[in-house]
Structure 1
Amino acid sequence: KRRRHRRGRPAMELALSGLRQASFTLQRSAARGASFVQAHPVASVSAGGCITGALGDALAQRAGGEPFDVRRWLGMISFSVFDSAVLYLPFYRFLDSRFGPAATVRSVAAKVLLDDAAFAPCVEVPLCFAWTSVCEGDSIPRRLRCEYVDTVMAGWMFNVPISIVNFALVPPAFRVIFGDAADLAWSTLMSYISHRTQRSAGKEASGA
Structure 2
Amino acid sequence: MTIDGKEVSLDLPNKELESLGLDEYSTSPSGASIAVTNEGGGAFRSLIHIPNLESNGEFEFSFSNDMTLSSLPDGGVTVRDNKGDILGTLDAPWAIDATGASVKTWYEIRQSTIVQHVAPTSSTQFPVVADPFWIPFLGIMGGHLTRHALTQMAKRKITKELVEHVIKTGRGSKGNGNTTVFNGNGIRVIVDNVSGNVITVTKG
Name the TM-score, length of structure 1 as normaliser: 0.26
Which structure has greater helix proportion? 1
Q: Larger Cα Rg: Structure 1 or Structure 2?
A: 1
Name the TM-score, length of structure 2 as normaliser: 0.27
Which structure has greater strand proportion? 2
